[in-house]
Amino acid sequence: MESAIPQNLEMKRTRHKRVPDDYQPPYPSFVARYKPAVSRVVMAYFGVQHRGTVPAAATDALKEIAGLFAAEHGPSHWDRAHYVDQAGHENVVSVAYWDDVARFDAWFASAREAWTGKAREGVGTFIEVLRPSVERHETLFSSLGRAEGVAVIADGMSGEVQEHAYWGGMRDRIPLSQTDAMAPGGSPELIRDGARLRVKAHDNLCLIRSGQDWSDTEASERKLYLDDVEPVLREGMDFLRDDGLAIGCYANRYMGVLSADGSASEKSYGQSWWKSLAALERWAESHPTHVKIFGAAMKYLSTLGPSAKLRLYHEVTVATADEQFFEYLNCHSKTGMLAAVEG
């Protein structure tokens, strides 16, 4: 058993973790471990949005960003996913990860111009970037052997960690929680720059990417996941998408991961922007929609026990204002963080 907080990020605590030192989680979980030299990671969401039949410009845009990712200083890993948003628009989001901010910076300026610096026929584009210090970030995996998201660029995975399977584990895994309550610092503002719309959010904005991978499940487990768990998860994701603002969820996307050839895969993730880690905590632990998700997942896992082949993971970041960048071009007014500001 080890702490989710890596040794090099241990600080003299002024805030306690929520469980006693002898707490034993009821089942194993793991976290991504970066090389100690990694002080900051970058997660960059590049979205392309359109309505109805796929315009040529959308296909071109996807090729273009893939080409940019492959160029010098490009990301160590990226993936792509699709969803239909609350306005009925199709969105394809390519998510790229770096573990070196200097490399990202060398890459980003021209990529940004290419992505949100020019209008494309019939499509909108957006960029959402966090570049948190590793103190402001945590991951969690239900099993080893298949890293996802930011964990793909990590040095590897931990052994079994202590800080999970209780409410508050998410916070306790973030190294900064040792000394900081991570309270939110203001309200998001819209900045107009011609057709480009930027959102300046605030300190301690929170991002979660929470993923599901049922590709290894077989007959009965697959049926149980798809019939009993997935619909409840979808209901919760729809709630956050449509009515999340009142409880501090600025935006939520329930994404279907795309295979390399662009076809649907058996992986999904929810990605949401929150006013604070506390708002995410409150939804997760007490809102009826997540209580139902948690109940369905508990029932699923207690039915299957250690034989479950479903893989679950998440990554959570609480970023300072200057670790964030949001830019939208020709997107509808409820896209991403635009939903959090007056249009």
CA-CA-CA-CA dihedral for 292, 222, 270, 180, to nearest 10: 70
In this structure, the strands spanning 249-258 and 77-84 are antiparallel
Q: Which stretch binds a second copy (CB under 8 A): 30-38, 54-62, 298-306, 309-317?
A: 298-306
- Minimum distance between the CB of residue 272 and a second copy, rounded to whole angstroms? 19
294 sits near a second copy (criterion: CB under 8 A): yes
Structure tokens at 318: 């609480």
Q: Binding residue for a second copy (CB under 8 A) from 302, 306, 322, 342?
A: 302
Q: How many residues bind a second copy (CB under 8 A)?
A: 27
- Minimum distance between the CB of residue 277 and a second copy, rounded to whole angstroms? 10
- Minimum distance between the CB of residue 186 and a second copy, rounded to whole angstroms? 13
> Which among 89, 164, 290, 314 is annotated as catalytic?
314
CA–CA gap between residue 42 and residue 250 (Å, rounded): 21
Q: Looking at beta carbons only, is 186 or 295 nearer to a second copy?
A: 295
11 sits near a second copy (criterion: CB under 8 A): no
Q: Are 128 and 45 in contact (CB under 8 A)?
A: yes
Contacts of 231 (CB under 8 A, 6+ apart): none
Structure tokens at 282: 């409150």
CA 146 to chain centre: 17
CA 206 to chain centre: 9
CA 48 to chain centre: 17
Q: Are 208 and 132 in contact (CB under 8 A)?
A: no
295 sits near a second copy (criterion: CB under 8 A): yes
Q: Which stretch binds a second copy (CB under 8 A): 12-20, 38-46, 70-78, 107-115?
A: 12-20
CA-CA-CA-CA dihedral for 279, 280, 281, 285, to nearest 10: 110
Q: Binding residue for a second copy (CB under 8 A) from 167, 191, 193, 231?
A: 167
Q: Looking at beta carbons only, is 95 or 280 nearer to a second copy?
A: 280
- Minimum distance between the CB of residue 204 and a second copy, rounded to whole angstroms? 11
314 is catalytic: yes
Q: Binding residue for a second copy (CB under 8 A) from 237, 278, 308, 340?
A: 278
CA–CA gap between residue 40 and residue 98 (Å, rounded): 9
Return the number of other C-beta atoms located less than 10 Å from residue 13's C-beta: 10
Q: Looking at beta carbons only, is 259 or 286 nearer to a second copy?
A: 286
Contact residues toward a second copy (CB under 8 A) are 15-16, 18-20, 23, 26, 165-168, 181, 183, 276, 278, 281-282, 285-286, 288, 291-292, 294-295, 298-299, 302
Question: Catalytic amino acids?
Answer: 314
